[in-house]
Amino acid sequence: MTLAVYFIVTPNVLLLDYAGPAETLRMAADIGADLTVTTCAPVPELSTSMGVTLSGLAPLPDTLPDGALLIFAGNAQEALDYARPEALAVIDWLAAQRGRDIRVASICSGALLLARAGWLDARPCTTHHALLDLLRQSAPTARVMENRVFVDDGQVVTSAGITTGIDLALYLIEQHFDAELAARVARRLVMYARRGPNDPQLSPWLAHRNHLHPVVHKVQDAITRDPARRWTLEELAELAHVGPRHLTRLFTRHAGIGVVAYQQQLRIARARQLLADPSLSMERVAEQCGFASARDFRRVWAMHVDDSPRTHRATH
Q: pLDDT digits over 249-266, tens only?
A: 999 999 999 999 999 999
Report the half-sphere exposure of 34 (CA within 13 A, side-chain side). Answer: 6
Residues 182-194: tens digit of each pLDDT = 888 988 887 765 5
CB 108 within 8 A of CB 141: no
22 φ, ψ (degrees, to nearest 5): -65, -45
Task: Please give the distance of CA 294 from its chain centroid, rounded to a whole number.
Answer: 32
* Percent of the chain whose predicted confidence (pLDDT) is above 70: 97
Average pLDDT for 33-46: 97
Strand order in the sheet with 150-152: 35-40, 3-8, 68-72, 102-106, 156-159, 150-152
- Max Cα-Cα span within the chain: 64
Of 136, 156, 157, 139, the C-alpha closest to 148 is 157
Residue 198 has pLDDT above 50, yes or no: no
- CATH match of 3-188 with 3.40.920.10: no
Residues 136-147: tens digit of each pLDDT = 999 999 999 987
Residue 301 has pLDDT above 90, yes or no: yes
Q: What is the mean pLDDT of the chain?
A: 92
Average pLDDT for 15-23: 96
Burial class (CB in 10 A: 0-12, 13-18, 19+), 28: buried
Q: In whole angstroms, what is the distance from residue 283 CA to residue 217 CA? A: 31
Around Cβ 52, how many Cβ atoms within 10 Å? 9
Which of the following CATH numbers is that of domain 208-316: 1.10.10.60, 3.40.50.10490, 3.40.1160.10, 2.40.160.20? 1.10.10.60
Extents of the domains making up the chain: 3-188, 208-316
